[in-house]
Amino acid sequence: MSNFIKNANWRYATKKFDATKKVSDEDMQILKEAIRLSASSYGLQPYKVLFVENPELRAQLQPAAWGQSQIVEASHLLVFANITNFGDTQIDNHINNVAATRGLPTDSLQGYSDFMKSKISTLPVENRNIWTSKQTYLALGNLLNAAAELNIDVTPMEGFEPEKFNEILGLTELGLNASLVATIGYRHKEDATQHYVKVRKSEEELFINL
């Protein structure tokens, strides 16, 4: 646990990446697995994660991310896209996956399926989209912690225009919406932000004991 705290203090939102340094395929596979194993409500993972590798496509996305250099300089660009209008079909797919993975008859999970549908599918579409978008933050958290363990920098980014990302990446047609962006790579030695003392609330201000 001491390493976890040390890594948490080490990481920061990198402002300038070293474009000459690339994260290895082996380390990227670990980060993918960390994302895949992330917690999510009911285990539904109501999102997709896009790895945008095409340099021309990344250059198109940069203006829609307020011109931030990380979009084109980082080793990898990830877009967390929540599934829109999530409902019965996706829940059925999940139930089938549970049954196949655990060797259970699908019928034995009918009660669980009906419960999820009663809590999710009955919500207004806007509420469901907000909920699926929130789930992407859980996956991002796992990515941040796993990357810090590997001394790989990740910058979580909300500073972008989702509608333009959706248009450029063709997400709307896929039933997806750009929720979060994360750039992955290695900090540039000229990034002054890495030397800033981390600022957080004190325990007394942040926590409440009841």
b/e burial code for range 141-174 (CB count within 10 A of at least 16 → b): ebbbebbbbbebbbbbbeebebeebbebbebeee
Q: Residue 157: which of 57, 74, 87 has the closest Cα? A: 74
CA distance from start to end of the chain: 26
Q: What residues are paired with 49 via a beta bridge?
A: 80
pLDDT at 88: 98
pLDDT at 14: 98
**pLDDT greater than 80 at residue 55:** yes
- pTM here? 0.96
Three-state SS for 16? coil
Q: How confident is the model at residue 2 (pLDDT cuts 50, 70, 90)?
A: confident
For the chain, list the domains and their CATH numbers.
19-188 (3.40.109.10)
pLDDT at 1: 63
